[in-house]
Amino acid sequence: MKNVFQKYGVGLNLLARLLLVALMAMVLTACGGGNDRNRGGAVPQVPTRAVTINVSSALVTPTYTLNGVAFEQNEYNDGNFVLRNTLSDGDALMLGSSHDASPAAVRVIQGTYDVLFQHETGNGVPQNVDTPVQAGEIVDGDRLLPINVLAWEITPSFAQNASPFPLNEYDAGAFYLQPAAGGERIFIGGSHMASPAPVQVLQGSYDVVYSLEAGGELVPGNQGAVVMTDVLVEADRPLDVDITSVPFEFNATLDSAAFPPSQYQKAQFFLRNSDTGDRVALGASFELPVSLLVVEGTYDIVYQYVQGNALPINTDAVVARNVVIGAANSSVTINIESVAITPSFTLDGDAFPEDEYNDANFYLRAVNNNNDAMFLGASEVAPVTVRVISSDMDTGAAVLGAYDVLYRHESGKDVPQNANAVVRGNVMINSDASPFTVPVTSVSITGRFTLNGNDFPGEANNSVQFLLRDADNDSDAFLFGLSDITNEPVKLVPGTYHVVMDHLDGDAVPQNEMHEVDFNNVLTSDQTLQVNIPAVRVDPSFTLDGQAFPASIYQSATFYLYDFRTGTRIFLGRSDKKNAPVMVIKEDHEIVYEHLSGGDVPQNTNNNLGLIDL
């Protein structure tokens, strides 16, 4: 079998190849990396960089106490302890369980860790999940790690406007503690419970959150209302929660007239707290006016279209902002102002093809709220008139605002391939418009792709694809060409684009996924775009504390190259075997360690060992 140099037609003899590899060798440890470069001589099409990756580890032996006393050794009343690396996102590893009488030592990669507690079972341990109990623990050698958990019981009681809640499980809400230090919400009881049980939680600061569970006639309709903040738990204590709610009356009109009284002409209204995400379903447009209980606070009023041709088609329009609801303001009526538009779509000054196999869809999207996006029409069919909320509608804090018109390719090569291009921007739609013109222009671009200045392999099982991505709009990315064929011109909306390379198959091409490789190409006329991909093969070897890793898959780890520009990982090798070189784009990558099996190797799940300079 030909070696890689012969395969790509590079005439190096064996001695020269070995010398080249030796000159390019580098060592990367968990504490840093090198920056060796190829400094001369014949260069193969894809050079190889030998990299030794050393993992520095230590043994951590924990002990667990609860308020200074050993935890109960009971697997039905316990929690788990987790180490979370402070510098590597997602690097967490199990340390042990609170019921372990003699916790085992755990091997970890040296670094700084927070200790988290995770409730498993029972009421005799804190109910927190993923809340830190100790922070900034430095592991730079074998060490003991005593973990003392401070926890207290809170005894809750729930009231609404200083009176007990109805004891009705079919019209009730749930209460939670949200730890300020982080972690999941902790259920502390339901509004229908006459005497909620005490709940053990970690010492710290909490917010109290209320969410409707059932009904909504006798209790507030909020989903996620923060009803108390900065509640300190530093000793056993009562927790008296008293919600202040008001009967809120809401009504809306459409262009100063009542909404159609039909479920087939339907929109939904909501209250939404933009800071907490709290949400209250107000009701459907044909049910107005409505009245329901709401926790006092400040809300936006949101309109969401459901169906019907007589209503604005906005999907998430904020129609009133910063509405203060309380005893002094418990009734709100708004008028929604709409306009009718009939779109007209053209391509390069002419009609679009009347062809469902060469077509695109068009959308409107609010400039100040990307969630408010709505279907405007299709290029291949006769447009219909639609209603949208007027840009000039006063929402209290400001007008609703402008819209963008989006183009989204559906099928065929005779129309632009863009996935989400803005073809008209910042359009104020203030009055009826027929036609509402949407002119689309296009250019044809041909891609020519090379790998280190040479042709890519001409086979689909060793190939990558290329995409174009709008420089100002990441959501507009679309196929530009394939590395293994001669590509036809691609029609697209004129603009400035980055080129993205995405691995498809095979190890004779770079393994990177969705990596931007060529930037700020101004494509405003027909042209050929030359794209060269610089690549290198990384030839890895792995050591643990300066020694070889165990030669067993049952005591092993996996290593990855982390492409921090895209957030993707590229398999580099396993610690227990000799690994083949891996081809990547010649840019800096990070090395990531992931435990595979066994207790003799570090247990880390996503540890960033450092940067490799390629």
What would the mean pLDDT of 163-191 be, rounded to a whole number? Answer: 97
How far is the CA of 331 from the CAs of 161, 286, 303, 328, in angstroms? 18, 18, 17, 9
Distance (Å, whole) CA 210 – CA 223: 7
Tell whether 48 is covered by a domain: no
Domain boundary (243, 258, 291) is at: 243
- Calculate the average pLDDT of the chain: 92
453: pLDDT strictly greater than 70: yes
Helix, coil or strand: residue 285: helix
Residue 184: domain span: 152-243
Burial of 149 (0-12, 13-18, 19+ CB in 10 A): buried
- What is the enclosing helix (H) or strand (E) of 491? strand 490-492
- Examine the domain organization and report whether 352 and 432 are in the same domain: yes
Tell whether 590 is covered by a domain: no
Q: For 220-240, how does the pLDDT look when each residue is reduced to its tens digit (9 = 90+)?
A: 999 999 999 999 999 999 999
CA diameter of the chain: 90
Encoding tokens for residue 153? 């019981």
4: pLDDT strictly greater than 50: no
Is-contact 120 97, C-beta < 8 A? yes
- Examine the domain organization and report whether 347 and 424 are in the same domain: yes
- Examine the domain organization and report whether 392 and 464 are in the same domain: no
- Examine the domain organization and report whether 69 and 91 are in the same domain: yes
What would the mean pLDDT of 176-194 be, rounded to a whole number? Answer: 97
- What is the enclosing helix (H) or strand (E) of 518? strand 515-523
Amino acid at 156: P
Domain boundary (119, 150, 181) is at: 150
- Examine the domain organization and report whether 449 and 433 are in the same domain: no
Strand partners, 326: 329
Tell whether 34 is covered by a domain: no
The 8-class DSSP code of residue 21 comes to H
- Examine the domain organization and report whether 449 and 510 are in the same domain: yes
Domain boundary (123, 150, 177) is at: 150
pLDDT band with cut points at 50, 70 and 90 for residue 45: confident
According to DSSP, the β-strands at 556-563 and 589-597 are antiparallel
- Examine the domain organization and report whether 239 and 301 are in the same domain: no
The pLDDT score that the predictor gives to residue 23 is 34
Nearest CA among 107, 143, 140, 114 for reference residue 30: 140
Q: For 241-266, how does the pLDDT look when each residue is reduced to its tens digit (9 = 90+)?
A: 999 999 999 999 999 999 999 999 99
Tell whether 594 is covered by a domain: no
The 8-class DSSP code of residue 453 comes to T
Alpha helices in 301-413 (DSSP H): none
Is-contact 130 182, C-beta < 8 A? yes
Helix, coil or strand: residue 20: helix
The pLDDT score that the predictor gives to residue 24 is 33
Domain tally for the chain?
A: 5
Helix, coil or strand: residue 376: strand
Q: For 549-600, how does the pLDDT look when each residue is reduced to its tens digit (9 = 90+)?
A: 999 999 999 999 999 999 999 999 999 999 999 999 999 999 999 999 999 9
Is-contact 562 590, C-beta < 8 A? yes
- Examine the domain organization and report whether 373 and 305 are in the same domain: no
Encoding tokens for residue 342? 């009939």
Nearest CA among 133, 174, 182 for reference residue 156: 174
Tell whether 198 is covered by a domain: yes
CATH number for the domain spanning 386: value is: 2.60.40.1120
Tell whether 193 is covered by a domain: yes
Is-contact 448 439, C-beta < 8 A? no
Encoding tokens for residue 23? 């000159």
| CA-based end-to-end distance of the chain | 28
Q: For 475-531, how does the pLDDT look when each residue is reduced to its tens digit (9 = 90+)?
A: 999 999 999 999 999 999 999 999 999 999 999 999 999 999 999 999 999 999 999
Is-contact 558 571, C-beta < 8 A? yes
What would the mean pLDDT of 364-373 be, rounded to a whole number? Answer: 97
Query: pTM for this structure?
Result: 0.87
399: pLDDT strictly greater than 60: yes
Return phi, psi of residue 14, to 5°.
-60, -45
What would the mean pLDDT of 413-432 be, rounded to a whole number? Answer: 98
Is-contact 512 568, C-beta < 8 A? yes
- Examine the domain organization and report whether 355 and 436 are in the same domain: yes
Looking from the CA of 459 toward its CB, the CA atoms found within 13 Å total: 8
According to DSSP, the β-strands at 78-85 and 111-121 are antiparallel
Distance (Å, whole) CA 20 – CA 40: 9
Tell whether 560 is covered by a domain: no
Is-contact 201 189, C-beta < 8 A? no
Distance (Å, whole) CA 285 – CA 266: 6
Tell whether 565 is covered by a domain: no
Lowest-pLDDT choice from 40-54, 192-206, 242-256, 473-487 = 40-54
CATH number for the domain spanning 165: value is: 2.60.40
pLDDT band with cut points at 50, 70 and 90 for residue 33: very low
Distance of CA 587 to the CA centre of its chain: 24
